[in-house]
Chains A and B, each alone.
Chain A
């Protein structure tokens, strides 16, 4: 029973490029959450999605960031025109239902040069 999978595990981008982070939830889970962890800080909620719907994106910057969770395939967090301040670990979690225990993936560590 595979856990939450994220890829890539490490991603290096130059300023101005795009970053695409993928998350496959646990089997049977249709709720996905993205969190960002800046160095020396805790995780901060970004966005909550169910299949094909964004439920809450209140923690996501309005510019350059977008997220989707299509009917088929993984959830994608997309960051356009990356800047150095986007360097962080991005964690995805999934749950069976809203308010249920969230299971976390290993994270994608994004480095912007």
Chain B
């Protein structure tokens, strides 16, 4: 079945690192995505990783994928107050249009 799970809430201090975790169940997923949703706004694609990779780094963002455990994480280095938002992980299949989303993790960055 298709199911993506995330913890609901994370609070960190400004300047610290944030790690947001996600587990998925469909082993045939080809792409795994991280989206950011700011209040009142749509979803913004932050980064994605192919299922044949185990790590991807993009400036302050690091994505780790453990395919054996079906576990995905997003690490944000030097977290800023502007990073406060809801973060969604999503899985997709090759050439498929259907994205399966988790319920989102609300990140609160304290000054």
Contact = CB atoms under 8 A, between A and B. Distances in A.
A44 interface: yes
A98 B97 contact: yes
Interface centre among A31, A33, A42, A59 (most CB of B within 10 A): A42
A91 interface: yes
A43 B43 contact: yes
Interface string A14-49: 000000000000000001010100001111110010
B60 to A, nearest CB: 21
Contacts of A101: 45
B43 A91 contact: yes
Interface residues of B, number: 22
Interface string B63-106: 00000000000000000000000001010001111111111100
Interface string A86-107: 0000010101001101111111
Interface of A: 3-4, 6, 9, 31, 33, 35, 40-45, 48, 55-56, 59, 91, 93, 95, 98-99, 101-107
B103 A40 contact: yes
Contacts of A45: 98-100
Given A98-B97, A99-B95, A4 B42 contact: yes
Given A40-B103, A42-B102, A31 B97 contact: yes
Contact of B42 (A40, A41, A48, A104): A104
Contacts, number: 58
A102 B45 CA distance: 9
A33 B97 contact: yes
Given A98-B95, A99-B96, A42 B44 contact: no
Interface centre among A35, A43, A95 (most CB of B within 10 A): A43
Contacts of B102: 42
A56 B97 contact: yes
